[in-house]
Amino acid sequence: MGYPTVRLRRLRVNEAVRRLVRETELHPRQFLWPVFVVPGRGVREEVAAMPGVYRYSADVLVEEVGRNAELGLGGLLVFGVPSHKDEAASEAYADEGVVQRAVRALKAAFPELLVATDVCLCAYTSHGHCGVVKGGKILNDPSLELLARTAVSHARAGADVVAPSDMMDGRVGAVRRALDQAGFTETLVMSYAAKYASAFYGPFREAAESAPQFGDRRTHQMDPPNAREALREVALDLEEGADVVMVKPALAYLDVIRRVREAFDCPVAAYSVSGEYSMIKAAAGRGWLDERKIVLEVTTAIRRAGADVIITYYAPLLARWLREDPTC
Ligand code: PBG
């Protein structure tokens, strides 16, 4: 039986029917809001390539989070922009480091707020690489110890979730063991499991001052043409103890999100990265796209692909739009 008995347009006849049969829904609890924190007090500086995204000092960040508290966001993902960089990335794991201070301030002000932290060395090393560099190479195993120390110091400051984004082999296991040894058995690990060497990170590197001074990240981040390999990355991270696995970027990798969703039963996160944000902002700023409609469509697509958690710079704005119209 087909047309004319079957008419799929009946399912779209008006908004009442459309919302009844809608398959995918967005809710602010699914969103993690990435924030950049800098040293000092009273700092609020806009990121040039990301209009509407700011770098805050911890005190201003606490105020901003307070202003958005009623939105019911899933939580924050904190990135540090330190004042001091060296070969050993020492501020990454310093108790008085920029992230550690910010996390303590956030948890003191909002004990119930879920705080996740990015664990990587690239913003803390003088050369801008995600690990220890010797002879022009990024060394895997010596980097693990520094990453594990960083994760433990974030947990000690009060982070609920640590998110290793460095793509070194074995880092999830190293982080999990170090957390457990330090008594942080309840701290979650959200691994950037399938993180691609992507040009979409361009604006972030300006925001985080984390661009590599030489070379690139292609010896550790994944090669964009590969999808099966993403499943191997995810499987290894789960074996090593990851609680949540992430695919990053999101929009150009919806197929990878879908495959990870179908292959594993763990929570899946997707990171809609800086370049995805900036592309929409730039086009919307020129009046070429309807920002609200595009952001809702793209974020819904990421969820439809299978993401449980969506990391997006649009989190507060999305939550406001959803509050105005929960069916959108
Ligand atoms: C740190 C890190 C990066 C991003 C998140 N964590 C940049 C990179 O790998 O160079 C990118 C986030 C974004 O573009 O929004 N390694």
Q: Model confidence over 235-271: pLDDT tens digits?
A: 999 999 999 999 999 999 999 999 999 999 999 999 9
Is pLDDT above 80 for 119? yes
Backbone angles phi, psi at 54, to 5 degrees: -125, 155
Q: How far is the CA of 31 from the centre of ligand 1 (A)?
A: 17
The length of the chain is 328
User: 321 and 280 in contact (C-beta within 8 Å)?
Assistant: no
Q: How far is the CA of 199 from the centre of ligand 1 (A)?
A: 10
Please tell me if the CB atom of residue 197 comes closer than 6 angstroms to any atom of ligand 1: no
Give the residue among 110, 76, 72, 77 at the shortest CA–CA distance from 320: 72
Q: How confident is the model at residue 63 (pLDDT cuts 50, 70, 90)?
A: very high
Give the residue among 122, 46, 48 at the shortest CA–CA distance from 79: 122
Please tell me if the CB atom of residue 201 comes closer than 6 angstroms to any atom of ligand 1: yes
Beta bridge partners of 246: 269
Is pLDDT above 80 for 326? no
Angle formed at CA 90 by CA 87 and CA 96, multiple of 5 degrees: 155
Backbone angles phi, psi at 299, to 5 degrees: -70, -35
Tokens found for residue 236: 């290894």
User: 187 and 179 in contact (C-beta within 8 Å)?
Assistant: yes
pLDDT tens-place string over residues 20-32: 999 999 999 999 9
Q: Is the overall model pTM greater than 0.95, yes or no? A: yes
pLDDT tens-place string over residues 122-163: 999 999 999 999 999 999 999 999 999 999 999 999 999 999
For the chain, list the domains and their CATH numbers: 25-324 (3.20.20.70)
Nearest atom in ligand 1 to 122's CA: 16
Give the residue among 323, 328, 305, 325 at the shortest CA–CA distance from 29: 323
Determine the Cα–Cα distance for residues 147 and 178; give it in Å rounded to an integer. 10
Mean of the pLDDT values across residues 313-318?
A: 98
Distance linking the first and last C-alpha atoms of the chain: 33
Residue 62's SS3 state is helix
Please tell me if the CB atom of residue 138 comes closer than 6 angstroms to any atom of ligand 1: no
Omega of the bond leading into 39 within 30 degrees of 0 (cis): no
Return the residue whose CA atom lies nearest to atom 14 of ligand 1: 201
Is pLDDT above 70 for 328? no
CA 91 to chain centre: 21
pLDDT tens-place string over residues 196-239: 999 999 999 988 889 999 999 999 999 999 999 999 999 999 99
Q: How confident is the model at residue 325 (pLDDT cuts 50, 70, 90)?
A: confident
pLDDT > 90: percent of the chain: 97
Count Cβ atoms below 10 Å from residue 112 Cβ, excluding itself: 7
Determine the Cα–Cα distance for residues 43 and 291; give it in Å rounded to an integer. 28
Is pLDDT above 90 for 327? no
Determine the Cα–Cα distance for residues 220 and 236; give it in Å rounded to an integer. 15
